[in-house]
């Protein structure tokens, strides 16, 4: 975990999902988020936390998770 000395504004909140190939030829989902709600859901579901940045007060600035690509699904596309 890294510590930074700034705070995110509501406009800075986002979640990015990337599907990439791993070294074995399989697909892996890499999720980068700045939203606490998404962070808590991924932790609860057992995703592997690979990087985390928090501010001095302990608030989440960003987190990166990794899991098999089949763990990603979308409810609606509109």
Q: Residue 38: its pLDDT value, please?
A: 94
| Average pLDDT score over the chain | 91
Taking the complete model, does pTM exceed 0.95, yes or no?
no
For 41: left if phi > 0, alpha if psi spans -120 to 50, otherwise beta; the answer is: alpha
The pLDDT confidence band at residue 6, using thresholds 50, 70 and 90, is confident
Spell out the domain ranges in the chain: 2-71
pLDDT tens track for 10-36: 888 999 999 999 888 899 999 999 999
CB neighbours of 65 closer than 8 A, spacing ≥ 6?
A: 30, 31, 33, 42, 47, 48, 49, 50
């Amino acid at each position: 975990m890294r510590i930074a000395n700034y705070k995110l504004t509501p406009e800075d909140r986002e979640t990015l999902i990337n599907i990439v190939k791993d070294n074995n030829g399989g697909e892996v989902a890499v999720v980068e988020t700045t939203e606490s709600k998404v962070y808590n859901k991924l932790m609860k579901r057992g995703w592997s936390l690979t990087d985390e940045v928090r501010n001095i007060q302990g608030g989440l600035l960003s987190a990166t998770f990794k899991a098999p690509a089949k763990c990603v699904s979308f409810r609606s596309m509109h």
